[in-house]
Structure 1
Amino acid sequence: MIIAQRYGKALFELAEEKAQRQSILAELLELKKILQQQPELLKVLDSKQVSYHEKQTILQVLVKAASPLVANLLQMLFDYGRIDDLAAIINEYVRLNDQLEKTVHAQVVTAIELDEAQKTSLMASFAKVVGASKVILEEKVDPEIIGGVVLKSNNYIYNGSLRLRLERIKRLLLK
């Protein structure tokens, strides 16, 4: 989405210039949590059925709790009728920050829950493979894979599940 990229990049560059990148990131992640918990919030702010005064009152609650940069972003998005792009803008900011810090988000699927040592080892190995400084894992347990691990990231998929190996053997035997 071009709008989200432009706004996200502008906010990121401004935060970097003002040495507030990390604090703005934390604030945006908190705002994203609020939007996920209250999905109707943006709908109300974008609704034609809600009066401008009521929308402004709701917006002011968000703006008062925000830093000047985020408050300006919220007000500008509201004024330009782009408040519904807020989540995508936050995602773009996070993506740019991850790119700068060489952070990779990955989903790991295992048959059983991993212990801390296994997670640490997996993150270190995956970081070397993708050239990242830091890996953030989202864990999922799926007994259907039988054993092993399936690791997914933006442009990388590693399927080392026992289920896949068994399916390959089965195909070879059926040939």
Structure 2
Amino acid sequence: MVIAQKYAESLFEVSHDQGVEQSVKKDLDTLKAVVASDDAFKRFAEDPQVSKDARIQFVDETFKGVDPPLINLLKILAERQHLELIPAIAAEYEQVYNEANEQQYMKVESVYALSDEEIDSIGKAFIKRTGYKRLLIENIINKELIGGIRTTIGTTVYDGSVQNNLKEIAKAVQQH
């Protein structure tokens, strides 16, 4: 969503200039979770009968204490009847934040729960391979892999699973 991306990039730029980008990210993560799970908020955000002033007052009262760049964005969203964009903006902000900090989320699928040492070793190998400074790793159990691991960083999948190797062998046999 292009509009959410533009809001997120602007928010990050202003937050970074003020040194509050991490705090804004944390607040956005919380907001995203609340907005996604609160049907009353969704109805309020999408109700065309709620006045601009009522929306802005709601933002002022509800989001006291968040950093100025975020409260300013929320007021703009309220004024333009775009409060429903909060989850999309939060997701885009997270991407911009990760890029700026040269970090990325990494999903490691394995047949069993990996030890901290195994996760650390995998992380170090992929840091060398990808050039990121930091990988935020989540280990997911996937019994269908048979063995090995499958990792996903962003939209890139690295599949070293036995399941994938068997598929590759089957393809090679079928081609001959």
Q: Do the structures match in fold with TM over 0.5?
A: yes
Query: 3-state SS of the aligned residue for 1:108?
Result: strand
For residue 169 of structure 1, report the CA deviation from its aligned partner: 3.1
Q: Corresponding residue for 2:88?
A: 88
Structure 1 residues 160, 102: closer, same or farther in 2, change over 3 A? same
Which residue identity lines up with residue 135 of structure 1 in the other structure?
A: L
Give aligned pairs, total: 174
Range with greater deviation from structure 2 (27-36 or 39-48): 39-48
Task: State the alpha-carbon separation in 1 of the partners of residues 124 and 33 from structure 2.
Answer: 28
TM-aligned CA deviation for residue 75 of structure 1: 1.4
- Structure-2 residue corresponding to 1:73: 73
Opposite residue 26 of structure 2, the aligned amino acid is: A
| Stretch of structure 1 that moved more, 92-101 or 164-173 | 164-173
Aligned to 2:122: 122
- The amino acid of 2:13's aligned partner reads E
Give per-residue Cα distances to partners, 1:109-148, cap 9 Å, x unaligned. 1111111111111111111111100001232211011110
Give the deviation of 1:60 after TM superposition. 4.0
1:43/1:84 contact within 8 Å kept = no
Structure 1 runs (4+) greater than 6 angstroms displaced: none
Shift of 1:25: 1.7
Q: Is 1:33–2:38 an aligned residue pair?
A: no
- Shift in CA distance, 46/162, structure 1 to aligned 2, threshold 3 Å: same
Aligned equivalents of 2:110 and 2:60: distance in 1?
Answer: 45
User: Unpaired runs of 5+ in structure 1?
Assistant: none
TM-score (structure 1 length as normaliser): 0.86
Following the alignment from structure 2 to structure 1, what is the Cα–Cα distance between the partners of residues 118 and 39? 36
The yes-or-no answer on 1:166 pairing with 2:176 is no
TM-score normalized with structure 2 length: 0.86
Give the gaps of 5 or more residues in structure 2. none
- Per the alignment, do residues 138 and 41 of structure 1 end up closer, same or farther by CA in structure 2, a change over 3 Å counting? farther
Residue in 1 that maps onto 2:153: 153
Equivalent residues of 1:104, 1:132 under 8 A apart: yes
